[in-house]
Chains A and B, each alone.
Chain A
């Protein structure tokens, strides 16, 4: 079974440029999460989807961040425009609803804004 797939693995952009990250969850997992992990910190939730509905986006900076999960499968996370402080690892995770097994994380996208 393929795990959670994220792309790209690495991205370097200049500030004020847009950037997008893509996530393909494990087949059948209806819950999808985007987390941000700053250097030396634990991951922090940005947004959680149940199927195609964003059920928790309270920590998503909506002035520059947006996300979508069309058809309740793949998801994209976009930043426009990027700022220096957005440099971090963006992690996608998925799970079955009410699963006791925790999340499965992807390998993440490391964003560097210069």
Chain B
């Protein structure tokens, strides 16, 4: 069985500050890991994915995440927060390359303070 834990249901940062959203996973097989972003009243948009290639993954909008097997973590970061980053972020784990069930975390709502 697979599971995802996102630490912090709500994170607030000042505009221009570092964004760090935490995700830990549990998987009995080498995982595929994803970060999605959801804006209000919208579906989920893929930010980035880890599929066993480079451990540091760069995504859209300046976000990146690092896969750390020893820590079973896949934290999402962005050096400088922008007001438009305010949204809900979901970490997900899947057993395969996209055609199998994704298990999502409960999400972290990011607020950006001007």
Contacts from A to B (Cβ < 8 Å):
4, 6, 31, 40-45, 48, 50, 56, 91, 93, 95-108, 110
CA–CA, A45 and B45, complex, Å: 17
By size class, the interface of chain B is 20 to 34
Main secondary structure of the interface of B (DSSP, over half): loop
Q: Is the CB of B102 within 8 A of A96?
A: no
Selected from B34, B43, B105, the residue in CB contact (under 8 A) with A102 is B34
User: Is B25 on the interface with A (CB-CB < 8 A)?
Assistant: no
Selected from A42, A93, A106, A110, the residue in CB contact (under 8 A) with B90 is A42
Contacts from B to A (Cβ < 8 Å):
4, 9, 32, 34, 36, 41-46, 49, 51, 90, 92, 96-102, 104-107
Q: Is the CB of A103 within 8 A of B51?
A: no
Q: Is the CB of A41 within 8 A of B101?
A: no
A-chain residues with CB within 8 Å of residue B42 when the two chains form the complex: 107-108
B-chain residues with CB within 8 Å of residue A98 when the two chains form the complex: 96-99
Q: Is the CB of A102 within 8 A of B45?
A: no
